[in-house]
Amino acid sequence: MGKSTVVPFGPQHPVLPEPIHFDLELEDEKVVKAIPSIGYVHRGLEKLVEKRGFQEYVYVAERVCGICSFGHGWGYSKAIEGLMEIEIPKRAEYLRTIWHEISRLHSHLLWAGLGADALGFESLFMQCWRIRETILDIIEQTTGGRVIFSVCKVGGVRRDIPDNELKEIVKRLDALKKEIDGAAAIFLNDETIHARLKGVGTVTYDEAVALGAVGPTARASGVPQDYRIGDEGGAYKELGFTPVLATEGDCFARVKVRLLELYQSLDIIKGCVENMPAGDIAVPVKGFPPAAEYFTRVEQPRGEAVYYVKGNKTKNLERFRLRTPTNANIPVLVKMLQGCDLADVPNIILTIDPCISCCER
C-alpha cells in the first residue's frame, strides 16, 4: 500500500460547472476518501423570508437556482397553498406541469452538454446546447423570460397559454425529438463513452436507499423513487406516469436515465396539452398565513426537493427551509468516489448533476 496524499479538487476546475470542493485522499491514483466542503456561494436566501411578504417571496425562491427556477417557485407556492388551504384551478395545475417538464428538458439538455464537454466531445456539447435553445425559446414565448419564469404564484399562475399556442409548442417539440435522437444515440452507443462511464462510480440499490439518494441518481440504481408518482399535484396522476429506471447504478446508468427522461417529458407535455381543462388560471388569495407549519415536496430535474414553511399570522413568514436534491446526493457522491481513479473524479461528480447554487441558499 502506497503513502496517501491529499489533493484538493475544486472549487475551480476546468471540467466543473459548479464550485464544489473535495479533499481527495489518494493512494497512488486511487481515491481512498473524499471529504466535501460546501459554502462558497452561501447567499442567505432563506433569511429573506422574514423581510419579504409571502406573495413577494416566490420571486426570491425562484432565484435559488436558475436552472430549477420554476420548480422552486412551484414548491414554495405549493407549501403556502397547503398552509392556507388554497385549492388552485385545474388548468393552473396542468400549466404548472407543462412548465415544470419544460424545465426538466432545459436542465437535462444543459447537463448533457456539460457531460459531453467533460468527455471531450465538443461537437456533441454544442449539439445539446443548440437543441436546448429551442426549449429556451418556448420558455421565452410562454413566460417572457428565458431562465427565470416568474409565472408561478400563490393561488395559481400569472399567465395562460392559449390552446392554439399549446398545439404549436407540441409540433415544435415533436420536431425536436428527432434531434434529441441523434445526440442520445452518441451517448448510448459510443465506445469511448462506454469505456469512460460503464462500471465507474457504481452505487448499489441498497447503498442508494441507505444513503438517501434522490432523483436520477437513485433511479439509476433501481430505486423507484419519483415524487411525481406521489402527491405532487399537476397532471402526473391523470397521465399514468411511471418513473424511468436502470439497475446498473454506474455513471452510464445515470446518463441513460436522464436521456430517457427527455422523451418522457416530451410525452408528459403532449399529454397535458391533449387533456388541458378550460377555466381560470388562479384564485384570489386573502389574508395571511396562519400560525402553523406545512411541509411539501417537488420532483426537481435533479431529484426530490423538500419545502417547509412556518407562518405567524403576518404577511412575512417566520421560517422557510429548503432541502435540495444536491444536499441529498452529496453523501452518495462521497460513496461513488471511494476507490475510483483520480481521472474519473470529474465525470463521477457530473453524473449526479450537482447544483451548488441550490445547495447553498
The pTM of this model reads: 0.93
pLDDT greater than 70 at residue 233: no
With cut-offs at 50, 70 and 90, classify the pLDDT of residue 17. low
Question: With bands split at pLDDT 50, 70 and 90, how would you rate the model's confidence at 13?
Answer: low
The answer to whether residue 1 scores a pLDDT higher than 60 is no
Find the range with the poorest average confidence among 61-75, 198-212, 228-242, 314-328. 228-242
Q: Does 65 count as an annotated binding residue?
A: yes
Nearest by Cα to 100 from 321, 261, 326: 261
CA 127 centroid distance within chain: 21
175: number of CA atoms within 13 Å, CB side?
A: 8
Give the pLDDT band (50/70/90) at residue 239. Answer: confident
Does 152 show up as a binding residue in the annotation? no
- Of 260, 247, 102, the C-alpha closest to 180 is 260
Q: Please say whether the beta carbons of 187 and 297 come within 8 A.
A: no
Tallying the residues shown for the chain, one arrives at 361
- Write out pLDDT tens, residues 142-166: 998 888 888 999 999 999 999 999 9
Q: Domain 44-336: which CATH class?
A: mainly alpha
Residue 60 pLDDT > 80: yes
- The sign one gets for the Cα dihedral 83, 236, 68, 358 is positive
The per-residue b/e assignment along 185-217, b for 16 or more CB within 10 angstroms, e otherwise, is ebbeeeeebeebbeebbbbeeeebeebebbbbb
pLDDT exceeds 90 at position 92: yes
| Percent of the chain scoring above 70 in pLDDT | 95
Mean pLDDT over all residues of the chain?
89
Confidence grade of residue 44 (pLDDT, cut at 50, 70, 90): confident
pLDDT score, position 146: 87
Residue-level pLDDT at 16? 67
pLDDT at 285: 92
Domain boundaries along the sequence of the chain: 44-336
pLDDT at 358: 76
| 2 has pLDDT over 60 | no
Q: Is residue 322 a known part of a binding site?
A: yes
The answer to whether 128 is a known ligand-binding residue is no
- Region 311-333: mean pLDDT is 91
Q: Average pLDDT for residues 42-64, to the nearest whole number? A: 87
**pLDDT tens digits for 285-309?**
999 999 999 999 999 999 999 999 9
Region of poorest pLDDT, from 167-171, 216-220, 234-238: 234-238
**Residue 16 marked in a binding site:** no
Which pLDDT score is estimated for 266? Answer: 94
Mean pLDDT of 342-359: 84
Catalogue the E-assigned strands of 144-210.
Answer: 152-153, 156-157
According to the annotation, is 359 in a ligand binding site?
no
Q: How many CA atoms lie within 13 A of 192 on its CB side?
A: 6
- Does residue 78 carry a pLDDT above 70? yes
Does the pLDDT of residue 106 top 70, yes or no?
Answer: yes
